[in-house]
Amino acid sequence: MANTLSPPARPDHAFKRVAILFAGGPAPAANAVISAAAHSFLRAGVEVVGIKHGYSSLIDFDGTELVEDKDYILLTHRKLRRTRNSQGIMIGTARSNPGKMIGHPSDLDDAEKVAPMKRVSDALKSLGVDALISIGGDDTLKTANKFKLFQEKYNSENIIPVVHLPKTIDNDYHGIDFTFGFFTAVDFLATEIRTLLHDAEATRSYFLTETMGRSAGWLSYGAAIAGEASLVISVEDVIAGYLVEEEFTDANGEKKTRKCMDMDRVCDRIVKTILARESEGKEYGVIVMAEGLAEYLPFSFVEGIERDDHGHINISQVSLFSIMSKAVQAKYASKTNGRTRLIKGLQLGYEARCAQPHAFDAMLGSQLGVGAFRALAEKKLNGVMVSVSGQLDLMYVPFEKLVDPETLVTVVRYIDADSDFHRLARFLETHVND
């Protein structure tokens, strides 16, 4: 029988210096991931470089030497002391996207389109990096895949292998059941929702809250279930039955059509919940809406709104919570012969992204960090996303299974409307005969 107290054997590898890069929005347990990955490599005699603020410095590399503590830091045992449960991101983050102009494999033949990716490659090589650990959401996964494809085409004799660790509090990732930080964010938002319920009951009012969840409703549903909200509406719900087609004129004066949210029907559904609660003697409540619904607002609300490097609308400029709370107030008045009901719009979410990580997220993040070491040093893999199943058993999912080979875009994992998770929220919220 093997000695279960013996440490894992040190694998044979040729790595001398590994880089860790974090991109996109923050998530609780980020430092658990970074620390566990760095510690694993340091213990194997490999230097670890933490690239600061995502691809920001790498994408602008012009051959000038990168500066320690400004563009990168050396992650040492001393720097990693007691960091696995710390808040924030020790190497920072950013949304710079070196793969922005690469939308199809053929774009790899265009020198101008791959120039940012070449600068990233050159910058990493200038630091003596011989492996890259990418941590981030689906956009960062797309970038990692493009970096792999770029290298296979241009650096086939000197490839920097890359593995990706999935991060998003939205939990909308294929290839893994739960992403690190999700449960911490859910609990944080659920606590806020329960607090708001006391405020709402005291003032006989409603809070209409906008929570994070750009593409899918996992975070909104989790927070609503754990926070005992009165109703939750996500992107999946609107796509399934609350869309209409509208005509609009774009910035070039061209007439176009698009699918948008049927504001009247959505507001009507919310008001039905409020009226049902009134019939039960409850003159208060909290409604939860996913921020991604901003993408489906009628054109008049989103016209001229900026988009980021990944093509996403700047949700912070839209104020979904404000738009919807006013619309629901108006609908309530129209359905109650002019009665008023105070409905306060409120945005929740940013305060959850760097919350103190829960034990589960610290464990999950630590396993993913160790998984990066095992994928690179033990398994000799390149182009895989580290995942877990069951009792945190490691798996390695090839990029090809997660990214469309033609569009190079990842597929969002929506909540299945027929799933028991989706049904759970419908069972627990205020019952409405709709």
pLDDT tens string, the chain, 434 residues long: the values are 567 777 777 788 889 999 999 999 999 999 999 999 999 999 999 999 999 999 999 999 999 999 999 999 999 999 999 999 999 999 999 999 999 999 999 999 999 999 999 999 999 999 999 999 999 999 999 999 999 999 999 988 889 999 999 999 999 999 999 999 999 999 999 999 999 999 999 999 999 999 998 889 999 999 999 999 999 999 999 999 899 999 988 888 889 899 999 999 999 999 999 999 999 999 999 999 999 999 999 998 888 787 766 667 777 788 999 999 999 999 999 999 989 899 999 999 889 999 999 999 999 999 999 999 999 999 999 999 999 999 999 999 999 999 999 999 998 899 998 899 999 999 999 888 76
Same domain assignment for residues 162 and 81 = yes
Query: Domain span at residue 202?
Result: 183-352+417-428
10 domain-assigned: no
Same domain assignment for residues 33 and 171 = yes
Give bridge partners of residue 20 from the DSSP assignment: 50, 133
Instruction: Categorise residue 53: left if φ over 0, alpha if ψ from -120 to 50, beta otherwise.
Output: left
> What pLDDT score does 345 carry?
96
Same domain assignment for residues 173 and 191 = no
Beta strand residue intervals within 262-410, DSSP E: 285-290, 343-347, 384-389, 393-398
CATH number of the domain where residue 23 is located: 3.40.50.450
Same domain assignment for residues 253 and 197 = yes
Same domain assignment for residues 160 and 281 = no
409 domain-assigned: no
pTM of the predicted protein model: 0.92
- Amino acid code (one letter) for 191: T
4 domain-assigned: no
CATH number of the domain where residue 251 is located: 3.40.50.460
337 domain-assigned: yes
Same domain assignment for residues 252 and 196 = yes
2 domain-assigned: no
Per residue, the 3-state secondary structure of 201-244, as one string, reads HHHCCEEEEEECCCCCCHHHHHHHHHHCCCEEECHHHHHHHCEE
Cα 294 to chain center, whole Å? Answer: 16
Same domain assignment for residues 391 and 369 = yes
Instruction: Categorise residue 10: left if φ over 0, alpha if ψ from -120 to 50, beta otherwise.
Output: beta
6 domain-assigned: no
Nearest of 79, 81, 102 to residue 151 by alpha carbon: 102
367 domain-assigned: yes
Structurally, how many domains does the chain consist of?
2
Same domain assignment for residues 231 and 321 = yes
77 domain-assigned: yes
Residues 6+ apart with CB under 8 A from 200: 206, 207, 284, 285, 286
Q: How far apart are CA 367 and CA 322, in angstroms?
A: 40
- DSSP run (H or E) holding 74: strand 72-74
Same domain assignment for residues 259 and 241 = yes
> What pLDDT score does 309 carry?
64
pLDDT in tens, 279-310: 999 999 999 999 999 999 999 888 878 776 66
Same domain assignment for residues 146 and 262 = no
Residues 6+ apart with CB under 8 A from 379: 396
CA distances from 432 to 44, 242, 276, 284 (A): 59, 17, 7, 16
Same domain assignment for residues 308 and 364 = no
Same domain assignment for residues 44 and 120 = yes
pLDDT in tens, 329-365: 999 999 999 898 999 999 998 899 999 999 999 999 9
